[in-house]
Structure 1
Amino acid sequence: MASRFTINRSVVLCQIPLTVIVVVIGVTAPVLRPGLMSNSTFDLGFSMILLLLALSVVVPWRELPRGSLLVVPILDFVAIALLRAGATETQPALGVLAVFPVLWLMRSSLPTWAALVLTWTGSLLVTAWPLLFSFDPSRMRSYLGILLLPIVMLCIAVTIRVMSLSARARDLEIERKDRELTDLLRAAMDRERVLTAILDTVDVGLTAVDAHGNTTLTNRQQELFNRLATGHDTHRSLYFGADRTTPLPLEKRPIYRALTGQTYADELIWVGEGDAQRALSTAARPIKNADGRIAGALIVCSDVTELVEAVTAKDAFISNISHEFHAPLTSVLGYLELVMEDEHPLPAHLKGYVDVAGRNAERVLHLVADLLSTAGDKVRVHPRPVDLAALIEMCVRSNRLRAQRNKVKLQSDAQDPLWTLIDPLRISQVLDNLVSNAIKYSPGGGVVSIHAEETETCINLHVEDRGMGMTEQEARQVFSRFYRTPAARHADIEGAGLGLAITKSIVESHGGAISCVSSPGKGSRFTVSLPVNGDVSRVPQDSMEESV
């Protein structure tokens, strides 16, 4: 029923313009064209137009064979011919009404040639209707005027068909693009659902924000972190620093830092309060547009509470065990010294045994001291003006005997003097660790060189050997606690893997950095960079005050 109504409505809409014009002419005829409505031919055409409108409404066009409704425009030509013939004297221009059935035919589904034939024939019928009943061969030349309207209508028909085909082509292109957009939208929605499922599955919090800090994307895990960070009051901000109690200022929060262009990783913050407080390892990266301006940021948060607590427990355990070992070892060494200094000398073989016991006790005591040094991430430093070149010279002298035993030649090259603000005891420990390692890991002999130089911003200290060396991956791990390379373990070289971890902690407590470049069988080069004039402003104050 709906389809039938739609088709009938289309037919009526096509027929109404012609009907309205004809009705207006008929209504105004008594005033403007007296006698027009009394013409039987005009009346017949007028009645036929009204009848065709009625048929457009009541005939079930959908139930008739396809193309049946084209009867209406064809009969319109006949009606227009009657109207024109009846009003030739008063309204000869009624023939232009033929444009309405022409429009109908050219917008129909008829083949172009058929529509043009009907257009020509119908238009010619409109102008030639009077000749059907009074043809005079002697007036043949004057009859040529009847071809003007068919020619004009034919031109209009061609123009309409071209425009119709062009519009149809545009419609098809729009439909094609619409289908493509629909498919793309559907695919995008599918991808969004998959992405949402993935983001909600991972245990990492993700947040994407625009340039104004408004959240554009987040996942379920991050929503949990956000609830922790606000508690029961959405206006509160429960962000804290590494000490778990100091509120984190706005300029140090992840989103603010990312929107200012900072890129960082593994920054520890705490969110929440009480027993629900969690440690988050945060990373952020700004998102830039084509112009290079910041258009937003991506922030990633990982819950590392258990890891932080495990590391804290491990450090506490190491510290406690080290303290527990320190007292009895000191006592053992004291009593061994008393035995060695007793007024009654020990037999030679017992003296050797006691000497071995003493050396091993001292070795264990040194190991305990190293464990104490690595129990925390920070060490105590007391910077003061020191000549680094003098420290290097002292280190070379103290390691010369060990170098001779390993057939290693020590070389030092340092600008003299190199005054800077450092902790001499700690930096001496750094030098001793690096030089002793270089000697120890040069079992075949060779040269160990120490070079120091000062630039505008830092003092660079290089310790280089030509020993066994390491792979690139081993060089990245060498500063980790208890790490020893497979080659060192295979060669049975003594060590606990703590010296370089302590060295790194000392250097960083001075606001400096340490790096290693190495190659298997070609040796290693360690570089320590310390700020000029002991710039420890980058070091947290508690790292200078905390006891080991």
Structure 2
Amino acid sequence: MFRGGGARVGAVRGWDWFVQMFVHGMSRRQQVLLSQVPLAAAIALVAGVVAVWHPDILAEPLFGAALTGQVLLLALGAAVPWGKAPAGAALALPLLDFVPIGMVRVAGLDTKMQLGALGVVPVVWLAWSGLRPGFCMAAAFLGPLAMVWAPLVLAGSSAPGEYADVMVLPAMMLAAGAVVHLLAAATRDQRRALESARGRLQEALDAQAKEKRLLDTVLETIPVGVQALDASGATAVANRQQYLNKALAGRVPGIGQDWPRVFDLAGAPLPPHRQPVVRAMRGEAFSDFLVRLGEGPTQRVFSTSARPVQGPDGSPDGAVLAFSDVTSLMEALAAKDIFLANVSHELRNPLTSMVGYLDLVQETPGIPTRAEHGLEVVRRNAERLDRLVGDLLAAASGGIDVRPEPADVAAIVRLAVAAAAPAARSAGVTLKDDTQSKALPGMVDPVRIAQLLDNLLSNAVKYTRPGGSVTARAFRAADGIVLEVEDTGIGMSPEEAAAVFTRFYRAPGSRAARIPGLGLGLPIARSIAEAHGGRIECTSTPGAGTAFTVFLPDPPDQGPGPGQQPAAQAERHRSGHQGRR
């Protein structure tokens, strides 16, 4: 009642709406004045009844004083700035209300009107105020008690029975005040709980709105099409870029998630069951799935990714897809391959001519020793440049042509070690052939396997410090031949080891040490291994060295050859060498 401040208007009706609009929205002065209006109206009604049916009471000075006092209290409620006064000061008005009520009651005792019941009005306001509950409850009893005992005291009555007879009214007032107080306390607690819940809800709504604005801003900022699907496959969220992608793909309304103009990299129409959106709705998770969207000059290449959305019970509840335009990247890669192929081809022709004329010059009799040494240096550099050009051509072609034939892999390893020995001696590195078998027959392309070993051995020698060692070995496993090249060089981190087979990749350590190279030897070695149906792996420890393991499987119609090791024995053989690193 006497508490100032406004509350937010809620979706309430009836009395609650009145309280919200006209009580909690009022100033302290307006609330205090409102507390006097019901009593003033009730006394005005009593005055009207008295004027009609009991005009003699209207002439009573006591009744006139009561009316005058009530008017003064009403004016006091309107005139005093209660908002600046202490909160408890407003309790003075309900307490003073007992005075005019008592005067009206005494003046009308000879009538049948129970005018003392008007005391319930200040009692209700005292109990409902919530201010100083103990004082208010005492006043709710003592005020009516004084109202009924004062006439007896003024009349000089000394009969205890008379005092006891009028105790019913104060007791009823106290009971009514207690009930009102309890209801008011419960209402205030409920209102505080509702306000707290409303505040928390508003904070949650504000936070949710802020997160949505942030999410919308992020989605509209990134140059990637993002689309979230619900469990039915309908689009729940999509940024502007994804709607542009949809338009490019020609999505037809009513066909669900089927996009008609979706093609694979070769340009063939992609069946609906292979399209990214349909795959995502099947619960598939994938990354870097390349597709072409659109037709003609507007066609673009996209890298698509998808992740399923898990519901509370773990069941699929939609999916999120990302469409990244990689057209420029694909065009740049194609241009790079064309450039490499053209440059390499143009370089190889003069190199071939240079090496041929070097052969003629070196075969000429009578060349001075010093000139012959210089010509040998020129030959080595020309051959090195020829190998680099060959690597560039192999990288540009995107594939390795292999022609398997029966060959002795152990002999290929020995020749590769012998070929790498001069470079190892110059670098101060010990080069060893740890192949135990004298012969390892297999069905391989001897030229390509020699190229693979040359790349691995030259790479190992370059990255090994003087005084270190490089070991090559070959052995037969249960279903193929294993080649290993192991060094005690500078090593790499796991992240660098995972990237060494990427074309043109060079580890930061090699760049810092200014070790020459194009980053093509290892990708070509992997291409050769994969062209044989095999694989190549790299394990490395920073500062401790690197090991490359190549597995070349036997052809399906070729049985185990001599010197074959059981799979478990081959694994122990490899583990033993790994442990000696």
* TM-score (structure 1 length as normaliser): 0.67
Q: Which runs of 5+ in 1 are unaligned?
A: 27-36, 535-548
User: Is contact 1:441–1:467 with CA below 8 Å preserved after alignment?
Assistant: yes
Higher alpha-carbon deviation: 148-157 or 489-498: 489-498
Name the CA distance, whole Å, in 2 between partners of 1:488 and 1:278.
Answer: 37
Deviations, residues 426-484 of structure 1 (Å, cap 9, x unaligned): 5664445324533565564634143667689x987543222454455654543333445
How far off its partner does 1:497 sit?
Answer: 3.2
User: Is contact 1:438–1:464 with CA below 8 Å preserved after alignment?
Assistant: yes
Higher alpha-carbon deviation: 125-134 or 244-253: 125-134
Does residue 1:107 correspond to 2:128, yes or no? Answer: yes
User: Is contact 2:421–2:431 with CA below 8 Å preserved after alignment?
Assistant: yes
Indicate which of 288, 293, 298 corresponds to 1:271. Answer: 293
How far off its partner does 1:161 sit?
Answer: 1.9
Correspondence for 1:204? 224
Name the CA distance, whole Å, in 1 between partners of 2:481 and 2:183.
Answer: 81
Correspondence for 1:433? 455
Cα gap change, 1:259/1:111 in structure 2, threshold over 3 Å: closer, same or farther? farther
Correspondence for 2:340? 318
Cα gap change, 1:440/1:175 in structure 2, threshold over 3 Å: closer, same or farther? closer
Cα gap change, 1:351/1:152 in structure 2, threshold over 3 Å: closer, same or farther? same
Does residue 1:465 correspond to 2:492, yes or no? Answer: no
Does residue 1:401 correspond to 2:421, yes or no? Answer: no
2:343 counterpart letter in structure 1: I
Does residue 1:516 correspond to 2:522, yes or no? Answer: no
Correspondence for 2:173? 153
Name the CA distance, whole Å, in 2 between partners of 1:449 and 1:239.
Answer: 49
Correspondence for 2:392? 371
Deviations, residues 83-128 of structure 1 (Å, cap 9, x unaligned): 998559xxx9x98886566334322466435543542245447876
Structure with larger RCO (C-alpha < 8 A, sep 6+): 1
Correspondence for 1:34? none
Deviations, residues 132-173 of structure 1 (Å, cap 9, x unaligned): 8998645x2475353244234324423432442343244235
Residues 22-421 of structure 1 mapped to structure 2, 5 A cutoff: 63-65=78-80, 70=94, 86=111, 102-108=123-129, 111-112=132-133, 115-121=136-142, 123-124=144-145, 137-138=158-159, 140-141=160-161, 143-183=163-203, 185-186=205-206, 188-230=208-250, 236-247=259-270, 249-253=272-276, 256-257=279-280, 260=283, 262=285, 264=287, 266-288=288-310, 292=314, 294-295=316-317, 297-326=319-348, 329-330=351-352, 346-349=365-368, 362-379=383-400, 392-402=409-419, 404-405=421-422, 406=424, 407-412=430-435
User: Is contact 1:446–1:465 with CA below 8 Å preserved after alignment?
Assistant: yes
Deviations, residues 356-378 of structure 1 (Å, cap 9, x unaligned): 76665554443333222111444
Correspondence for 1:503? 525
1:280 counterpart letter in structure 2: F
Correspondence for 1:540? none
How far off its partner does 1:277 sit?
Answer: 2.0
How far off its partner does 1:204 sit?
Answer: 3.3
Name the CA distance, whole Å, in 2 between partners of 1:531 and 1:166.
Answer: 84
User: Is contact 1:84–1:95 with CA below 8 Å preserved after alignment?
Assistant: no
What secondary structure sits across from 2:502 in the alignment?
A: coil
Name the CA distance, whole Å, in 2 between partners of 1:267 and 1:434.
Answer: 32
Cα gap change, 1:167/1:99 in structure 2, threshold over 3 Å: closer, same or farther? same
User: Is contact 1:103–1:157 with CA below 8 Å preserved after alignment?
Assistant: yes
Cα gap change, 1:87/1:97 in structure 2, threshold over 3 Å: closer, same or farther? same
Name the CA distance, whole Å, in 2 between partners of 1:233 and 1:177.
Answer: 44
Name the CA distance, whole Å, in 2 between partners of 1:84 and 1:251.
Answer: 98
Deviations, residues 196-252 of structure 1 (Å, cap 9, x unaligned): 334423333334444544444443333333332336878544333233443264455
2:133 counterpart letter in structure 1: T
Name the CA distance, whole Å, in 2 between partners of 1:374 and 1:524.
Answer: 24
Residues 461-500 of structure 1 mapped to structure 2, 5 A cutoff: 462-470=484-492, 474-484=496-506, 495-500=517-522
User: Is contact 1:391–1:428 with CA below 8 Å preserved after alignment?
Assistant: no
How far off its partner does 1:275 sit?
Answer: 1.8
1:262 counterpart letter in structure 2: A
User: Is contact 1:8–1:60 with CA below 8 Å preserved after alignment?
Assistant: no
Equivalenced residues, count: 494
How far off its partner does 1:313 sit?
Answer: 0.7
What secondary structure sits across from 1:374 in the alignment?
A: helix
How far off its partner does 1:287 sit?
Answer: 4.7
User: Is contact 2:344–2:389 with CA below 8 Å preserved after alignment?
Assistant: yes
Name the CA distance, whole Å, in 1 between partners of 2:542 and 2:356.
Answer: 43
* Identical aligned residues as a percent: 34
Cα gap change, 1:97/1:524 in structure 2, threshold over 3 Å: closer, same or farther? same
What secondary structure sits across from 1:412 in the alignment?
A: coil
User: Is contact 1:85–1:130 with CA below 8 Å preserved after alignment?
Assistant: no
How far off its partner does 1:393 sit?
Answer: 1.9
User: Is contact 2:413–2:450 with CA below 8 Å preserved after alignment?
Assistant: no
Cα gap change, 1:146/1:373 in structure 2, threshold over 3 Å: closer, same or farther? same
How far off its partner does 1:391 sit?
Answer: 5.9
1:463 counterpart letter in structure 2: V
Name the CA distance, whole Å, in 1 between partners of 2:398 and 2:249.
Answer: 27
User: Is contact 1:7–1:62 with CA below 8 Å preserved after alignment?
Assistant: no
User: Is contact 1:254–1:282 with CA below 8 Å preserved after alignment?
Assistant: no
| Aligned-pair Cα RMSD in Å | 5.5
Name the CA distance, whole Å, in 1 between partners of 2:179 and 2:386.
Answer: 105
Cα gap change, 1:427/1:339 in structure 2, threshold over 3 Å: closer, same or farther? closer
User: Is contact 2:98–2:119 with CA below 8 Å preserved after alignment?
Assistant: no
* TM-score (structure 2 length as normaliser): 0.63
User: Is contact 2:355–2:382 with CA below 8 Å preserved after alignment?
Assistant: yes
Name the CA distance, whole Å, in 1 between partners of 2:261 and 2:76.
Answer: 74
1:196 counterpart letter in structure 2: D
What secondary structure sits across from 2:246 in the alignment?
A: helix
Name the CA distance, whole Å, in 2 between partners of 1:454 and 1:506.
Answer: 19
How far off its partner does 1:319 sit?
Answer: 1.9
What secondary structure sits across from 1:463 in the alignment?
A: strand
Name the CA distance, whole Å, in 2 between partners of 1:441 and 1:196.
Answer: 50
Correspondence for 1:450? 473
Cα gap change, 1:231/1:159 in structure 2, threshold over 3 Å: closer, same or farther? closer
Name the CA distance, whole Å, in 1 between partners of 2:322 and 2:186.
Answer: 53
